[in-house]
Structure 1
Amino acid sequence: MSDKIPSITELLSTLVSCPSVNPGERLHWESPYGEARLAQVLQDLLRPWADSIEIDEVVPGRPNLRALFRGRADGPKRALEAHLDTVDIDGMSIEPFEPELKAGRLYGRGSADTKGPMTAMLLALIRAKAKGIKLNGDWTFIATCDEELGARGARFLIEQGFCCDGIIVAEPTELELIDAHKGVERYRVEITGKAAHSAYPELGLNAISALADFIGRLEAMSFPSTSRPDDDTLGPITMSVGVISGGDQVNRVPQTAHAEIDFRIPPGAPETAIGELLAQAAHSTRQSRPGIEIRWEQTQHYPALHPQPDSAFSETLWQLAKEHLNARKFSRVRYATNAGFYSAAGIPSIVFGPGSISEAHTAAESIEIDAIEQAASFLEKLITVPAH
């Protein structure tokens, strides 16, 4: 790309038209899966503007990108982060990678989550550089892989020793500043029973029936809420069974069954809470169904984001947001983001961006162009006003 400043529509259309669907556990993939193509697009876009660009391969074919924009040498070192990947396109009612502008909104996969918020970050940096404005410190733009299904990009960044004085994580927050959110623990549960002819079910142990029993016992439990009174807005632990499989043919009592379960955990909840709930449900299921085996393993974990009200970064953001976004308070949400990983590593972290989470992952995903302009203007002020 050239050193011409793109419009919001031009830049977002470029990002949306570059497929970057998370491949999940696929061992081999081609378009629309994988983030490498989008990382290359960003590298070409930022080459005229950034002081340095690095691409780190997290796993084969799935990179992170880091672009450094130097500012005042005596200023803080901060970062803007957005994830490269999107969810899959199954069931979409629009063309996912043919962006369409209609009634002030741009439609396409990833437009809200999170290429629209990414566009705001990129334009804030590019516009400031084009105007010749000295940034108030060093700012690093980071694009991570795999946020949707495991966050290997964010984990890699922390494992490699990345640190800064504050980071904004791009998500569609409706221009609200998010200082706390739930964490996620995901588990794969395996039930083993005993196969038998379906004409003689009493000779077998039905793994699917046992799995249904196990799930029912879990759902009937009273999930603990947070131990922090200031986090009650996030509610208690919740669970959702997202995947179930089992059996191999209709005339055979199934020997195995599996479920994938998603738990959302508020800040301050006991670290052992989910393991204890699973153990209780397993114990009572085994008692009622002797001979059934139940095993589980954690497949994914996203830390909760804890509020950090005393950080200089939060204070700077808050003062700007009151003035330019009419903000009245920090907000808290039930979904998880990469911010939990950065906060756990000691980096003051805030989630922010245009668009609505209600548009994310939908069949006709879209974002309002005017909201991206508001976010870009706010972020440009953040990176150029004198730092505290």
Structure 2
Amino acid sequence: MSSPASQDVLALTAELVGLDSVNPSLVPDAPGEHAIAAFVRDWATGCGLSAQTVHGPDGRPSVIVRGGRGGSGSAGWGGRTLLLCGHLDTVGHGSRQASPAAVVEGRRLYGRGSYDMKAGLAAALVACRDAAAAGISGQVVVAAVADEEHSSTGIQTVLNHVWADAAVVTEPTELEVAVAHKGFVWTGIEVIGRAAHGSRPHLGINAITHTGGVLAAVSELDRELASRPPHPLLGHSTVHASLISGGSGESTIPELCTLTLERRTLPGQSVEEAEADIAGLLDRCGRDQPGLSTRTRTLLARQPLETNADEPVVAMMLDAATRSDGRPRVPAGLSYWADSALIAAAGIPTVLFGPSGDGAHADIEWVDLDSVLSCTRALTILACEFAA
């Protein structure tokens, strides 16, 4: 089935962008998802869809929208269930983008969250509505989730309430069908020194100076990772230093320097492998810098995604995307992490597909409006045929 994209998806995108939903775990006192979750719930019920609000352990809301007559596990009805997932929260407003209001210039819609990822969420909601109106015997479920930009508490809560035969996460993919993305491991390192007066440095151990050797070793590890065999869709694993702090005063030899590393992992690479690489790095540093003392811990880890190309949702999403704009597709990979990995870990075959644009987490963010229409067409085709 082909379906013209509803032009009202553009108005819905603008309304979603106009609702400030900055994640309070990233920006203290930010509003979070309460207002936008209430809007999505009311929009869905106003369209004749069912909507359920669920709250995570932090009390933040996610909304589960359902359309169709049944789906997997529903008494009395057949048909499959397709899960479409998008997040409600955004990062903070950039220095040049202080207002959440959407602004349209030509075929671009500007505003925080326009690209990452309220346009993709709007496309999912409209596809669910239109598939339900087409009379599918299965079910389309939209998970509009909280907290993707920090700890993914929203999708983890939603997965306690939802099961599906397949899923599409509508993160921005430039209208490519992604079947793989990287994971990550965040490692905290404390370099331990000994405080002393700045006029008597021989009595102390400078933790910041020792950290310099660790940073050089991190760069060496990144180069070594680039020499390992690449993933065919994702390239190489990487590691970089992302946060650093140390010292207590201008005239004090610093007794502590803390460093955070981010390792981007490939399918098949484990958290333990990443931890072993860091342990080996620090062991080499210790041999080069006598007296180096460190403590490490894994702060957060998320696994990569790799969906088998034989899964029906892969071929069907590729076909729907091609039919939406006439451009042939092949499976793609993404450098970033998304909630898709958690959905796949729950046993649901998952791909990613979303609109085009630029500026995720940047000062200026925009989404291409024509791509939003194409994305909506493709998701509607998929929803009508997968959940037929």
Does TM, scored on the shorter chain, surpass 0.5?
yes
In the alignment, the residues of structure 2 paired with residue 373 and residue 11 of structure 1 have an alpha-carbon distance, to the nearest angstrom, of 12
Q: Which whole-Å CA distance do the structure 1 matches of 2:20 and 2:169 have between them?
A: 21
Whether the aligned pair in 2 keeps the contact of 1:77 and 1:165 (CA below 8 Å) is yes
Match of 1:36 in 2: 34
For structure 1, the 5+ residue unaligned runs are: none
1:349 aligned onto 2:350: yes
User: Is the CA contact 1:80–1:168 (under 8 Å) kept in the aligned structure 2?
Assistant: yes
Cα displacement string for residues 62-108 of structure 1 (whole angstroms, at most 9, x for unaligned residues): 122111112352110111100111111242x2343121111111111
Partner of 1:121: 124
Instruction: Name the CA shift for 1:386/1:238 in 2 (closer, same or farther; >3 Å).
Output: closer
Encode CA deviations 1:106-145: one digit per residue, 9 max, x unaligned. 111000000011111112223344xx31125111110111
Within a 5 Å distance, the mapping from 1:285-300 to structure 2 comes to 285-300=285-300
Higher mean displacement: 148-157 or 190-199: 148-157
Q: Which residue of 1 aligns with 2:263?
A: 263
User: C-alpha displacement at 1:337, in angstroms?
Assistant: 0.8
TM-score normalised to structure 1 length = 0.89
Q: What letter corresponds to residue 71 of structure 1 in structure 2? A: R
Structure-2 residue corresponding to 1:240: 240
2:93 maps to 89
Task: Answer yes or no: is the 8 Å Cα contact 2:271–2:301 preserved in 1.
Answer: no
Distance 2:156 2:306 in 1: 18
CA distance in 2, matches of 1:318, 1:387: 16
Which segment is superposed worse, 39-48 or 55-64? 55-64
Compute the TM-score of the two structures, normalised by the length of structure 2.
0.89
- Alpha-carbon separation, structure 2, partners of 1:183 and 1:296: 20
The answer to whether the 8 Å contact 2:183/2:264 transfers is yes
Give the C-alpha shift of residue 212 in structure 1: 2.2
For the residue of structure 2 that corresponds to 1:232, the secondary structure is coil
Indicate conservation of the 8 Å contact 1:173/1:353, yes or no: yes
* 1:109 matched residue in structure 2: 112
Match of 2:306 in 1: 306
Q: 1:223 touches 1:237 (CA, 8 Å); kept in 2?
A: no
The aligned residue for residue 156 of structure 2 is 155
**Aligned AA for 2:81?**
K
For residues 191-224 of structure 1, the C-alpha deviation after alignment (integer angstroms, 9 at most, x for no partner) is 2211011122221111112222112112212544
Q: Structure 2: how far apart are the matches of 1:145 and 1:290?
A: 47
| Aligned-pair Cα RMSD in Å | 2.3
- Answer yes or no: is the 8 Å Cα contact 1:117–1:353 preserved in 2: yes
Q: 1:124 to 1:40 in 2, by over 3 A?
A: same
Unaligned runs of 5+ in 2: 1-5, 71-76
Partner AA of 1:127 in structure 2? D
Shift of residue 289, structure 1, vs aligned partner = 3.5
Q: Are the aligned partners of 2:181 and 2:333 in contact in 1 as well (CA < 8 Å)?
A: yes
Contact kept, 8 Å, 2:94 with 2:362, in 1: the verdict is no
Structure 1 match to 2:62:
64
Deviation per CA, 1:248-268, whole angstroms, max 9, x where unpaired? 111101111112221111112
CA drift of 1:40 comes to: 1.1
1:292, CA displacement in angstroms?
3.5
Structure-2 change in CA distance of 1:223 and 1:39 (3 Å): farther
- Give the residue type in structure 2 aligned to 1:126: R
Note closer, same or farther for the CA distance 1:228–1:379 as it changes in structure 2 (3 Å cut): farther
Equivalences, count: 375
- Structure 1 residues 387 and 142: alpha-carbon distance in aligned structure 2, compared to 1, 3 A threshold: closer
Q: Which residue of 2 aligns with 1:369?
A: 369
Q: Which letter maps to 1:277?
A: D
